[in-house]
Structure 1
């Protein structure tokens, strides 16, 4: 009888990506400040807060924005917290409630100096404080572009909630189109503009838009591949590329992972080819454009590194899984009722529950189970 644990092989998609891992030197001090500040909101139960802390959102910000100032890193860290907490609150709600939460967030974004109504969802105050700080030291073009991008993300979150209500599984093409927004790439790339006066003609130029969409696709592929195990365990896998590919193409998990890795390589080439087509806007603007493009490329690397360094998706086994590519399949668990009651969905799943020892699983020729 085969007693080997059920596993998924997770291909390394970023082997050939030219932009290296880098860490902002202000990481530790800013992390301490932002973590302490976030806890003051009391937005989570003690158990959920503990799981939230394991996400290490400050690490993601420090990896993604390695060269920004301490103040701008704090803004970036606070925004990553905003992204995660809004995602967690809306993920367990139906479309109507999710839309109401999104409306609160958008109102707070447009009215950062307005006192939030008593009894309102805490998301309003969290976003208000974040944006009130951000607008003090950032440029007006950044603020316009950020609001545009983040609003698109928020509206897409409502569409995702509607899909969830209807148990709707999209086609690959439709899913990727929606996921470019729900993966939040566009607003996190806009964060690179905090100290820039990047002209609208650059931000909305078709080649720049195409490059941003390439990074969004790289990020959604990596995120969906790495988070799939957790999501299949908690019953949230419909909004995940691996599930979509399995359903549409009739593949098993291994086949879907391999398909996603091949598509990732195609998108990388599309990004590189498009870089060669970026026009010139003059010497001064071109310097900003290069910084902006390097920033978005760095995000793809940072997202991949963080996914293995955080405990959000792979528990404490991220480094080992990065080395072997082998992920023990988590058993199905019923977290919906508890998560909804707590108004959040911060899962704290232990991969060690799925297997005791990965030391013998060194071969990539692992057949995934359906």
Structure 2
């Protein structure tokens, strides 16, 4: 699906404000649009969240993938929560998958393209050969992936297992393309960004734990309307993720791969106008999703029942993602629930990552520590 944009769609800026702190200093705040205010699907969470997340985190900790400081920061991101918001069934597979996703993300974000390619080849081999022992001295992501899928596939139907291997492999290959873009300092257009981001954001394999118990035939699963619903769900997730992550990314110098930065660059405009365009486009995508629901065909009672379960799972994902953005510590530290209510987020100071850190020594940044660099009160005076 192509994204149609014209500069005329950029409205007057209203999405950032300057407030005064109690010690008399000006501080810039971002105002986050409540993009999910009218989404018909409410928040829900798996009641076994804490127990299963603890099991998965303990499993991941055994691999010593991070320094102690980064491990602590990693766990504040609460990846078990996003799985618990997304998956009413197959929770352990979902939590493990979220952990695998974000470890791959952290490791590959700090590597040049050739290093990313080496990591991805190992992960794909482990995914496709979960019964094969991993070589001595190999990066631990191979064994992490092998154990994850050796356990996860036992709960999957043949159809769902095929969908996972297919979509996760596509995602991993897309991560290499993203690394090439990073090495070349590429700034995408909005259209080209969505084209690449739909794969490397990892939503397609993330949808699979919601269908592990389903046997949806190819003629239904790969139908153009079902694929359209998947793409529209992904676009909503991309937009909300980029809105939530922008502050942290601009602070760490990692915001070139964000729809807000791309919009500012493409239209030679400011942050406020870019945020207005993104909020408006989010509304358009929501309407396209709701309209597409009316075009889902029938494949007979049994298949239709399974497709309905899958569509309900897709529809839950934008809500799940939005809730996790604020409920975890990934983007807003310990202040997420406060910012979810006020929609006002203090602009973080610049704190670039150490470019010399690699793999096991990667630095997972704690948002609260970045905020500590901001001296004085953050309260806006009336």
TM-score w.r.t. the length of structure 2 is 0.91
Following superposition, the deviation at residue 47 of structure 1 comes to 0.8
Q: Does 1:129 align with 2:129?
A: no
Q: 1:280 aligned to 278, 298, 303, which one? A: 298
In structure 2, the residue matched to 1:316 is 334
Matched, 1:239 2:257: yes
**For 1:93, what is the secondary structure of its paired residue?**
coil
Distance of 1:181 and 1:353 partners within structure 2? 35
**1:258 CA displacement:** 1.4
Unaligned runs of 5+ in 2: 1-19
Give 2:285's aligned residue: 267
Q: Deviations over 1:283-310 (max 9, x none)?
A: 1111111110010111110000000011
Asked if the contact 1:91–1:345 (Cα under 8 Å) also holds between the matched residues in 2, the reply is no
Q: Which residue of 2 aligns with 1:349?
A: 367
Q: Contact 2:239–2:278 at 8 Å: present in 1 too? A: yes
Aligned twin of 1:169:
187
Structure 1 residues 96 and 341, CA, compared in 2 at 3 Å: closer, same or farther? closer
The 1:361/1:62 distance shift into structure 2, 3 A limit, reads farther
Equivalent residue for 1:87? 105
Q: Distance between the aligned counterparts of 1:344 and 1:278, measured in 2?
A: 45
Check whether the contact 1:5–1:354 (CA below 8 A) recurs between aligned residues: no
Report whether the alignment pairs 1:25 with 2:47.
yes
Aligned residue in 2 for 1:201: 219
Question: Within 1, Cα distance between the matches of 2:344 and 2:26?
Answer: 12
- Which 5+ residue runs of structure 1 have no aligned equivalent? 363-370
CA offset at residue 353 of structure 1?
3.5
2:185 equivalent to 1:152: no
Shift of 1:37: 1.0
- Cα-Cα RMSD: 1.5
Match of 1:106 in 2: 124
Where does residue 368 of structure 1 map in the other structure?
Answer: none
2:267 pairs with 1:249: yes
Distance in structure 1 (CA, Å) of the matches to 2:359 and 2:148: 26
Q: 1:38 aligns to what?
A: 60
Distance 1:88 1:43, change over 3 A: same
Give, in whole Å, the separation in 1 of the partners of 2:99 and 2:114: 23
Structure 2 equivalent of residue 180 of structure 1: 198
Q: Contact 2:236–2:285 at 8 Å: present in 1 too?
A: yes
Which range moved further: 174-183 or 339-348?
339-348
Quick check: 1:326–1:361 contact (8 Å CA) kept in 2? no
The CA distance in 2 between the partners of 1:355 and 1:220, in whole Å, is 32
User: Aligned residue pairs: how many?
Assistant: 358
What is the CA–CA distance in structure 2 between the aligned matches of 1:320 and 1:258, rounded to whole Å? 22
**Counterpart Cα distance in 2 of 1:222 and 1:361:** 28
Task: Give deviations 1:249-298, integer Å, cap 9, x for gaps.
Answer: 12211211111111110000010111110001111111111110010111
Equivalent-residue separation in structure 1 for 2:145 and 2:157 (angstroms): 18
Measure how far apart 1:338 and its partner are.
Answer: 5.6
Deviation at 1:342, TM superposition (A): 4.5
CA distance in 2, matches of 1:244, 1:118: 42
Q: Conserved in 2, the CA contact under 8 Å of 1:89 and 1:343?
A: no
